[in-house]
Structure formats: C-alpha cells, structure tokens
Chains A and B, each alone.
Chain A
Amino acid sequence: MKKLHIEGTRYSPRIELDPETRTLLIEGDSYPENAVDVYGPLITALDEYFEQPNTPLNIKMLSFFQNTSSSKMITDMLAKLQRFFDQGHPVELTWFYPSDDLEIKDTFELFLEDASFPYSITQLEE
C-alpha cells in the first residue's frame, strides 16, 4: 500500500502511516469540529496496512491536546490496534507528554488503560 500522509492544520494533527518504515506518526494538537474527517481515513488505511499477517507497526503520538471528538476517534483507533495485536501483529506505541503538564500523562494513561500491546508514556525531552 502507499504511504498515507495527512497534512497537519492549526487544529488537526499531521498523520503519517508508512508501510516501508512500518511507522505511524500522529503529531500536533487536535480540535477539529469533526474528527471523523481527520481520523477516518487513517482508521480505514489501518485495515489495508494489516492485511498481511504479522505486520509490525511502531506508533509515535506527539499530540498533547485533543477535543472530545478527537478523543473518541483515538479511542476507536486504539481499540482497532488492540484487535490487530490480538491477531498477532507486533504493535507498539510511544505517547509523549510535555514536561510542563503532568495532567496530560494521566489522560494518556486513561486512553491506554485496556491496552495489552507494549506501550510507553514518555516525557518529551525539550
């Protein structure tokens, strides 16, 4: 499949799903009016990405702020990744939080509460 590249905007993150480097990057604040428009294409692309068995994916989240519409789409995305992990695909995730806001760390921990794939919530080195 081709690389999925979604441009970031003032209110939506840059999204890059690269089948060659086996990486997914989500970078930037997320508060679009309708997060389905932003994350929908990614969630669809993940189905194609994981078509072959045992496809690894390394995810980096560099998004500190989400409105509820985005949080819902991210929750759905994480649930989907969990299902792919359960099917045997090596999925791992790193979510960075800023050093000036530890409340965010709690938020990310909530998102990942049910995840059994390897993940880390890491402070971003400035």
Chain B
Amino acid sequence: MNTSFDVHAIYQLMHDSHIQFSYKGPITQDVLISLGDTIKEELHRDDCDAKVIRRVFSVLVEAAHNILKYSSEKTVLDKSKTVGIGLIGIGKTPEGCFVVFSGNFVSPTEAEDIKTRLDYINTLSPSELTRNYQQQMRQGTISANGSAGLGLYEVARKSGRPIDYSFTPGPDGMMFFEMKIVVEVED
C-alpha cells in the first residue's frame, strides 16, 4: 500500500467540511448495517430525535442501495455477488442540519436518466411529491433486483428541499454522480 498520502489533509478536509462519517468502497448490506448502527448511535448520543434519526437513516439506505445497484464501478465479493463501489457519509451543516452525501461513477446513459429524474423531482411541491410517490408505489413494478424506482422520491420526501447534485466527467467516459441531501432537524 502506498503510504505517501497526507493524513493531516484528510483530517483537515473532514474537519472543515463538518464530515462526521465517510466510507469509500463496496457498499454491501453489511457496510450499510455497520455504518447505520454507528451513525444512529452517534445521533442518539447527540440527543437527536428518534424521528430525525429515522429520516437520516432512510436517506442513507436509499443512497447506499442506489450505489450498490447502479454504480458502474463494481467488485465481485465471495459467493460471486456483484456490488457497487462508491462513497457515502454524513456531515452537519453550520445550521445544525444533517447532510447525507454519496458519490459513485455511473454510465453516461444512467447519468442522463438520473438527471432527468432529479430535475423533475426538484420541481415538485411536497404534496406533488407525495402524490407522485404514491402513484409510482401503486402502479409501478418492482424489478428483479428489488428496485421499486422510488429511492430518489424517498430521499426528496425525507429531505424537504431540492436535492443538491452534480455530475463530473471521469475516466473511461463514466460520470461521477454526487448528491448532498440535507435532512432537517426541526419541522
């Protein structure tokens, strides 16, 4: 392993960006459970409302499952299971809200699809969001990999404000897709 990286720089970046947890690697269900447990415990110690903890975890789960299923960067684990690789974590805004962030590479086609969905979702009022969500829930179909096409709707609903996202060109024509989702602490 190359040990010439700068730990202090990583510390400083996380400190300055108010990042509490960050993980980069294969986003397996086990990782999600461990990360989830750690985050929930920390939020609980921080005197966070059970309601807020569930909201944050909800966003974390949907973001994590999207990476797991749709990242163009993959690895094969034992039992020949293919899982997506990406970055996921949480931080705090200066106002004291939580931010769940995620990042992973996707194909250009996938990027187009995500952009279309997010741009649409970001135009919806809370009640329109709920209506669309309900409709998709009832009339949509679940895919073989368990995807109900509702992850981004759920993220938007739990966040209560437009989803901050961007795409950055990466190697091999892939696009790095990142989201920053603010979860309100107050109602």
Contact = CB atoms under 8 A, between A and B. Distances in A.
Contacts of B150: 68, 71-72
Contacts of B49: 100-101
A113 B57 CA distance: 25
B58 A75 contact: no
Nearest to A102: B51
Contacts of B50: 98, 100-101
A75 B138 contact: yes
Given A101-B50, A103-B51, A65 B142 contact: no
Interface stretch (A18-26, A27-35, A53-61, A85-93): A27-35
Interface in A36-52: 36-37
Place the interface of chain A in its size category: 20 to 34
B130 interface: yes
Contacts of B58: 65, 67
A82 to B, nearest CB: 11
A110 interface: yes
Interface string B2-22: 000000000000000000000
A71 B29 contact: no
B142 A36 contact: yes
A122 interface: no
Given A32-B146, A34-B146, A102-B51, A10 B137 contact: no
Given A33-B65, A98-B50, A100-B50, A69 B138 contact: no
B110 interface: no
Given A11-B29, A68-B151, A72-B137, A101 B142 contact: no
11 contacts: A11-B33, A32-B146, A34-B146, A35-B148, A64-B54, A71-B148, A72-B140, A73-B142, A76-B142, A103-B54, A110-B130
Interface of A: 10-11, 31-37, 64-65, 67-69, 71-73, 75-76, 79, 98, 100-104, 110, 113
Given A65-B57, A69-B148, A101-B49, 16 more contacts: A10-B33, A33-B29, A33-B69, A36-B146, A67-B61, A67-B154, A68-B148, A69-B65, A69-B146, A72-B150, A75-B137, A79-B138, A100-B50, A101-B54, A103-B55, A110-B134
